[in-house]
Amino acid sequence: MEVIIVNTALELASEAAKFIKNEINTKPNLVLGLATGDTPLMTYDKLVEFYQAGLVDFSKVRTFNLDEYVGLHKSDLNSYYYYMHHNFFDKINIQEENIHLLDGFSEDFNQLAKNYDKLIYENKGIDLQLLGIGINGHIGFNEPDVKLEINTHVTGLTEETLNQNSKFFPNIEQMPKQAITMGLGTIMRAKKILLIATGARKAEIMARFLEDSSISTSTPASTLLLHQNLTIMMDLEAARLYLKEKKMTINENNNQEYKNIIRRFSTI
């Protein structure tokens, strides 16, 4: 596991986008797993900048999104279908047939979930999965529970997640109470995982996640500690408690290629 710490959320977006760009340039037909929410927005903006500058080509890239709200049509401004097209897909040269999104308005979610996992398998799995993390440790919409699902499935949303995401809706009553999400097995089968976290509100969960040496269903993200190719990027606000607990100091990075990185280290 590699941990990369940068000063600001903007610098993190630059480094995360660079990481993804390099993976695409190495493998033009990369299968890319994508996340939504606040955290990846600046990363998508930076990837659009790279595309407009001719530094990356998305024409052969295939994408699979992590999740979608149950009950929202793709035309809904709060759907992740809209989010992805509005913030990313409509601004790059990705082919529509290479975009795979879960349908929150499906008539048969069980069959949808099975077909989604099958389609990922038929595309030889996800090469790089981009993840955020919830303040309760969820990834995708895999919420803390007494058991965790392996495959893509419908799940209820916890009160913490509802409160955190309610800002995107007129009021919390109008927010969907369920979502369909990749399961932890689907996520863990990705060949590489990039987890990004920004802001002070993520500091507590990142310190707990990285300090805990056990796997717990109460912190679904802890499953990632078993992955053999995990990269974690945090801004200084998200990393501050972890640095304090580890009694780490910041080492300035003088490498111009990675000028935003102020600390980079590997850990088990």
Query: Does 138 participate in catalysis according to the annotation?
Result: yes
Q: Which of 7, 78, 123, 136 is catalytic?
A: 136
100 vs 62, 158, 205, CA distance in Å?
Answer: 8, 26, 30
Q: What whole-number distance in Å separates Cα of residue 203 and Cα of residue 135?
A: 9
- Beta-carbon contacts of 43 under 8 Å, excluding residues fewer than 6 positions away, are 12, 13, 16, 17, 20, 130, 196
User: Of the listed 11, 23, 67, 127, which one is catalytic?
Assistant: 67
* Residue 143 a catalytic site member: yes
Choosing from 11, 15, 103, 143, the catalytic residue is 143
Q: Contact, 138 vs 161, CB < 8 A?
A: yes
Q: Of residues 98, 138, 153, 235, which has the active-site annotation?
A: 138
Cα angle 52, 57, 59 (rounded to 5 degrees) comes to 120
| Number of Cβ atoms within 10 Å of the Cβ of 26 | 9
Q: Measured in whole angstroms, how far is the alpha carbon of residue 44 from the centre of its chain?
A: 11
CA distance 12 to 233: 7
Q: Which helix (H) or strand (E) holds 185?
A: helix 184-188
Which sequence positions are flagged as catalytic? 67, 136, 138, 143
